[in-house]
Amino acid sequence: MSVLAAIAFDPAIRGVLVVATGVVVLIGSVYLIVSTNTGFRLGFLITITALTGWCFSMGIIWTMYGIGLRGEDPSWIEREINFSRDNPVATAVVRDLPRTEDLPDPAEVYAQLIAEDPEIQARIEEAEGEGFVPESLTQLVTLLPDQKAALDEALGGWRILPESDARRGDAVAAADASLVAAEAFGDQTAGSYTVHDVYFFGGKDGAEPETVPGEDSLLTKAWNRIRTTLQIKNPALYTAVTVQKNVPQTVAPGEAPPTPVVDESAAVVTVVMERNLGTRRLVPALFTTFTGLIFAVLAWMLHSRDRLAMQTRAEWIPFGGDLRWPSSCPIFALMVLAGLFAGISFFASRLLNPPRPTPTKIAPYESGILGVTPPPERFPVRFMLVAMIFIVFDIETVFFFPFAMVVDDLGAFGVVAIAVFAATLFESLLFMISKGALDWGPARHSRRSHVMTHPARTSRTTVRAVGLVGREAATTSGVA
């Protein structure tokens, strides 16, 4: 019972069972139908070929879009946590990253920029508030994206990420997990440290997003996409997240936590991580390759069987070549089978149900109504017109079928002859329709009422048409 309960409530197990049941039912029903007409062995081969072909198509879609059956997603792998840049670093590329204290002061850079262009201060203070001063280089390049390129040149090949870059949040979350696992700040809470800057190094150059939206032309974007796609090997991608411990603060019960204050005396901690590309598309690619090979082998087996069967039919000579079957043999065989079926049916009917005629059995029967009384009116001639329409179509069909079989042999003469024939029949069809062959039933009554009732006909016009002789006196005496 515990196993059944786990199957009933666990979504993963239940999903696997549902998919497995659906596949078994689908493939089983297809195999049942196909094997009925082709045999068990050939039907199984056709069914498995169709299944592997469907899996091959789905694998291509999974590989292209990274959905469905997939491997591990890309993630950040911790390489080291450098608690002070005074200590040697284990990752070689971090040595080229300048120390935080060696980088330009964001407040001084901001003051120099607003001194050159006062409109920058007005624009930023309108969004961030009066007296705003950036506390980190990340805030500076977020508010002034055009300064990012100049700052990246001073980073020794590294590049800083603004707060608007989605990759920054992913890197910060991975750094948080590494700091918690290493207990870098002891009893760590959400306000134990402040994240300063996030840097990237390496990766594909063409995959780097544009610094200022719209600075890259459409041609440049297209070339970057092509260059990134054709670059098979992915260069190593590193990230360095710099954090600094905050001043411990006491939070009163029931009150909101105060604004974190950075401990300027604490060292800047650098979390270095490397990007693991994962196997998100590798698993569906392997699945696609495997099912594609099986599909190719099974399709070749079916083709070989079909080719062998066609060769056997072409080389087969009935009765060892002593007797040649005429071309009309299938028609003759069909006539014999039809005669045998009709004769056996009549014989079985006589044997199982011998005729015992009674007045009730020999009475005319049509749709469960006995013809007790004669019809109240004559048989409508319009029925004969409808029957003639059917005859026209039957004759046209009888001529069109053999014409379609020998149209290549007849040439232009046959096309002209059948066109004249079709035009004659079409003219007779129009003639019968004009004579009212299709005017019957509700449509006829509706048409007759529409013709009889003119829009201009009213009670006043009807009385006027009949006449008013004698009506005025009757109306005056109150009789009307």
Strand partners, 153: none
Strand partners, 77: 274
- Residues 192 and 266 both lie in one domain: yes
- Residues 221 and 160 both lie in one domain: yes
Q: In angstroms, what CA-CA distances link 137 with 100, 121, 148, 190, 241?
A: 10, 16, 9, 22, 13
- Residues 207 and 89 both lie in one domain: yes
Range from 57-61, 104-108, 438-442 that averages highest in pLDDT:
57-61
Q: Distance from first CA to last CA of the chain, Å, rounded?
A: 93
CA atoms within 13 A on the CB side of 185: 24
Mean of the pLDDT values across residues 267-290? Answer: 90
> Is residue 90, in this structure, part of any structural domain at all?
yes
> Is residue 16, in this structure, part of any structural domain at all?
yes
Q: Tell me the C-alpha distance between 265 and 154, whole Å.
A: 25
- Provide the CA 38 distance to its chain's centre, in angstroms: 33
Q: Which residue has the tokens 């979504």?
A: 11
Q: What is the 3-state secondary structure (H, E, C) of 36-91?
A: HHHCHHHHHHHHHHHHHHHHHHHHHHHHHHCCCCCCCCCEEEEEEEECCCCCCCCC
Q: In this structure, are residues 240 and 94 in contact, taking their beta carbons and an 8 Å threshold?
A: yes
- Residues 209 and 234 both lie in one domain: yes
Helix (H, G, I), strand (E, B) or coil at 130: coil
Q: Residue 115 above 60 pLDDT?
A: yes
DSSP E strands: which ranges in 182-276? 193-202, 237-245, 268-276
Lowest model confidence (mean pLDDT) among 6-10, 32-36, 59-63: 6-10
* pLDDT, greater one: 285 or 466: 285
Q: Which residue has the tokens 């990012």?
A: 148
- Residues 229 and 84 both lie in one domain: yes
- Residues 51 and 173 both lie in one domain: no
Mean of the pLDDT values across residues 144-160? Answer: 85
Burial class (CB in 10 A: 0-12, 13-18, 19+), 191: middle
Q: Tell me the C-alpha distance between 194 and 176, whole Å.
A: 11
Q: Tell me the C-alpha distance between 295 and 130, whole Å.
A: 69
Q: What is the pLDDT of residues 202-226, one digit of tens each?
A: 888 777 777 666 677 788 878 878 8
Pairing of strands 237-245, 75-82: unpaired
Helix (H, G, I), strand (E, B) or coil at 267: coil
> Is residue 356, in this structure, part of any structural domain at all?
no
- Residues 59 and 88 both lie in one domain: no
Q: How many domains are contained in the chain?
A: 3
Helix (H, G, I), strand (E, B) or coil at 108: helix
Q: Residue 62 above 80 pLDDT?
A: yes
Q: Residue 291 above 90 pLDDT?
A: yes
Q: What is the pLDDT of residues 427-474, one digit of tens each?
A: 877 777 777 666 665 555 555 544 444 445 554 544 454 454 555 544
* pLDDT, greater one: 478 or 130: 130
The overall average pLDDT reported for the chain is 78
What confidence score (pLDDT) does residue 39 get? 82
Q: Which domain holds residue 14?
A: 2-70+284-309
> Is residue 99, in this structure, part of any structural domain at all?
yes
Q: Residue 411 above 60 pLDDT?
A: yes
> Is residue 354, in this structure, part of any structural domain at all?
no
- Residues 166 and 218 both lie in one domain: yes
- Provide the CA 380 distance to its chain's centre, in angstroms: 57
Q: What is the pLDDT of residues 166-200, one digit of tens each?
A: 888 889 999 988 888 888 877 766 578 888 889 99
* pLDDT, greater one: 460 or 279: 279
What confidence score (pLDDT) does residue 373 get? 58
Q: Tell me the C-alpha distance between 41 and 47, whole Å.
A: 10
> Is residue 230, in this structure, part of any structural domain at all?
yes
What confidence score (pLDDT) does residue 287 get? 93
Q: What is the pLDDT of residues 247-274, one digit of tens each?
A: 887 777 777 777 888 888 888 888 999 9
- Residues 297 and 390 both lie in one domain: no
Range from 80-94, 295-309, 354-368, 373-387 that averages highest in pLDDT:
295-309
CATH number of the domain residue 422 falls in: 1.20.58.1610
What confidence score (pLDDT) does residue 20 get? 80
Residue 63: which of 229, 267, 285, 356 has the closest Cα?
A: 285
How confident is residue 3, by pLDDT bands cut at 50, 70 and 90? Answer: low
Q: Which residues, other chains included, contact 417 with Cβ-Cβ below 8 Å and sequence gap of 6+?
A: 410
What confidence score (pLDDT) does residue 475 get? 46
What confidence score (pLDDT) does residue 52 get? 93
> Is residue 34, in this structure, part of any structural domain at all?
yes
- Provide the CA 405 distance to its chain's centre, in angstroms: 42
- Residues 298 and 187 both lie in one domain: no
- Residues 266 and 247 both lie in one domain: yes
> Is residue 80, in this structure, part of any structural domain at all?
yes
Burial class (CB in 10 A: 0-12, 13-18, 19+), 290: middle
Mean of the pLDDT values across residues 305-321? Answer: 76
What confidence score (pLDDT) does residue 134 get? 84
Angle of helix 282-315 versus helix 40-65 axis, rounded to 10: 150
Residue 48: which of 310, 284, 288, 302 has the closest Cα?
A: 302
- Residues 241 and 180 both lie in one domain: yes
